[in-house]
Structure 1
Amino acid sequence: MTLSTTRSAVRAGVLTTALAALLCTTATAVSAASADESRSARPASVQAEVPAGVTAGVAVFDRQTGAFTEQLNTAAPFRSASVVKLLIALDVLWNRSPEALSAADRARIDTMLRGSDDTAASTFWSANGSGAIVDRMVTRLGLTDTARPPATHPGYWGYTALSARDTVKIYRHLLDSAPAATRDYLLGNLRQSTRCATDGYDQHFGIAGSFNRPWAVKQGWSGFSSGGCTAPTAKAAAAAGEPEGAAAPAPAGADAVDLSRPALHSTGVVGAGDRSIVAVFTLHPGGTSYGKAYTDIGRLTRSLNVPGASRPAGTWVGTWGSGVRVRTQTTTASGAMTTLPAGVEVLVDCQKRGQQVSQPPYLNDWWAHLPQYGGYMTNIYLSSPENQVPGVPVC
């Protein structure tokens, strides 16, 4: 969207402190995008680049060489959030084939892994012994840093302690030791991860946003109030409020797992033949928005040396505003595909003119194509100094 003829004058006279901050964000996003291109060939000895204020545990394991290419705080335990659903699903299928599941249980596993459904996880947690599920899987898989939720929160499966290196063990078991039917069924669900989880959170951050398919992911989040996509249903919100809603006060003890800071995790396999296993666990300062955490874990994941990974083309650009919609075409009358988490960074591969949009005092008729969504957003909500994003080609 090109501004009206008065736009440059308006920008010169009305530029606010908030907009100036947005322009700084754009410069950071564009420079980060440029840096991403050079990082794809980084030597394995270079560690992950962790954004300021973020606490991270990272492990990347190359199954082709049998070696780690990235290791950072790999033994540090984090509250698992929904990543524990991997253990819940494996426990259900231990000594049982997927074909032996009831239709109801199969549907629960499908939605638990694809849409990170909390109600399904809570059903299995209650029916199969709660914390005993974790105890069994620790023994079966030889996990060293994994532990059931603290005694103060026994029903909160999302407070299970889990580390990056134990997560690599879980995926290695699934890929190399589990029965083929179990492997294919569970990974098949992880490959069908939906952008919008059943609780209304956009879950295609980290691995899913940093690399082209093929990938299979299980993500986790805890301690955020809003996650973009559609508003959660009352049922989903109630389920999320038990294990993964408002964060709990941290228990006493130097080695206690942090239950208070917002958590965002991305785990899975990447590349042809599921070559690399990636585990990225992050904690963010209190009050961090979902869009900011989403952006930070994206930048961290893109900095990693992940053998076999293919990176999407385009430029990463910051956004502003809340409830920004991604649409099927370059008009506000076209269908809304989803909404963006407020303030999130997006990948733009090209831009084109469409309907003029007004956000006083600005007008803009340029629209950005977001390849990872397969749709368009108005450029008026991109943190760019001009109506057209510099360096991004025309569609």
Structure 2
Amino acid sequence: MSLTVACVVLGALVAARASATSPSRRLSGPDVPAGVTAGIAVFDRTTGRFTEQLNAETQFRSASVVKLLLALDVLWDLGPGYRIPAADRTRLEAMLRPSDDGVAGDYWTQRGGSRIIERTATRLGLTGTAPPPAAYPGYWGYTALTASDTVRIYRYLLDQAPTAVRDFVMGSLRRSTRCANDGYDQHFGIPSAFIGPWAVKQGWSGFASGGCTPDAGTPLPPAAS
């Protein structure tokens, strides 16, 4: 089993962590279960430093986390002052909120497959991201990604992307549905460990649905500004 965790720490996330722990408790480092390979990178935007790193440059299968790169590739072409066409807005929201695989597959085919990864890696300065292996050209979820590069993606979104891009992508993630379109409960990990608001794109591969039901799929309300 492998696990990639990348977190860009925001003020709300820091406050949530503080409220969930005793003032006298000191965090000791990642506690990784036996038999699990984990890549972890936690970056604090307030101090501009990584507070946790473990195998941060190790490549893992990205699964649906690559949808962030697909979305940025689409939005990049629209230029400054853009307005997202209604059709793309609907499709991108479906890809980011309930993690629709069909939309991701369509963009992958229409926009050049592995060339999407090569373009976005160059634009964002990603050093450990690579397209799927040559034997699996259509498997966009097999894109290789590191914890450090995942942090770089979020830092681009939060600190460098045009405001409209940041607000659209992060707003879509903030309103993610609990149930993904494939029936998987995508509120595992960061969403289950921290008090909101949070915005995160989950990725999973080779796991059963986990029992997520339509009743659990109600979108979260927008986060307070």
Residue 219 (structure 1) aligned with residue 202 (structure 2): yes
Letter in 1 for 2:78: R
Residue 91 (structure 1) aligned with residue 73 (structure 2): yes
Counterpart for residue 57 of structure 1: 39
Provide Cα deviations, 1:85-131, integer angstroms capped at 9, x if missing partner: 00000000014169533222111100110111101111111110100
1:141 positional shift: 0.8
> 1:71 is paired with a residue of what secondary structure?
strand
> 1:96 is paired with a residue of what secondary structure?
coil
Q: In the alignment, which of 129, 132, 141 is matched to residue 158 of structure 1?
A: 141
Letter in 2 for 1:179: P
Letter in 2 for 1:64: T
Q: In the alignment, which of 111, 117, 137 is matched to residue 100 of structure 2?
A: 117
Contact 1:83 1:219 in 2 (8 A): yes
Contact 1:197 1:203 in 2 (8 A): yes
| Pairing 1:75-90 to 2, within 5 Å after superposition | 75-90=57-72
CA 1:40–1:61 in structure 2 vs 1: closer, same or farther (change >3 Å)? farther
Provide Cα deviations, 1:138-165, integer angstroms capped at 9, x if missing partner: 1101111000000000000000000000
Counterpart for residue 18 of structure 1: none
1:41 positional shift: 4.1
Provide Cα deviations, 1:180-236, integer angstroms capped at 9, x if missing partner: 1100111000100110001100000000000011110100000113321138xxxxx
Counterpart for residue 33 of structure 1: none
Counterpart for residue 141 of structure 1: 124
Q: Give me the TM-score of the superposition, normalised by structure 2.
A: 0.83
Counterpart for residue 228 of structure 1: 211
The CA distance in 2 between the partners of 1:215 and 1:207, in whole Å, is: 8
| Pairing 1:1-395 to 2, within 5 Å after superposition | 37-38=21-22, 41-43=25-27, 46-96=28-78, 100-230=83-213, 337-338=215-216
Contact 1:59 1:71 in 2 (8 A): yes
The CA distance in 2 between the partners of 1:220 and 1:202, in whole Å, is: 11
Letter in 2 for 1:89: A
Q: Which has the larger Rg?
A: 1
CA 1:186–1:338 in structure 2 vs 1: closer, same or farther (change >3 Å)? closer
The CA distance in 2 between the partners of 1:40 and 1:64, in whole Å, is: 22
The CA distance in 2 between the partners of 1:40 and 1:71, in whole Å, is: 23
Contact 2:108 2:140 in 1 (8 A): yes
The CA distance in 1 between the partners of 2:22 and 2:54, in whole Å, is: 21
Letter in 1 for 2:179: C
Kindly report the root-mean-square deviation, in angstroms, between the aligned alpha carbons of the 2 structures.
2.1
> 2:42 is paired with a residue of what secondary structure?
strand
Residue ranges of structure 1 left out of the alignment (5+ in a row): 1-35, 232-336, 340-372, 374-395
Contact 1:79 1:162 in 2 (8 A): yes
More strand by share: 1
Provide Cα deviations, 1:334-373, integer angstroms capped at 9, x if missing partner: xxx349xxxxxxxxxxxxxxxxxxxxxxxxxxxxxxxxx9
The CA distance in 2 between the partners of 1:164 and 1:39, in whole Å, is: 28
> 1:68 is paired with a residue of what secondary structure?
strand
Moved over 6 A (4+): none
Residue ranges of structure 2 left out of the alignment (5+ in a row): 1-19, 221-225
The CA distance in 2 between the partners of 1:92 and 1:206, in whole Å, is: 27
Q: Give me the TM-score of the superposition, normalised by structure 1.
A: 0.48
> 2:200 is paired with a residue of what secondary structure?
strand
Counterpart for residue 382 of structure 1: none
Contact 1:79 1:159 in 2 (8 A): yes
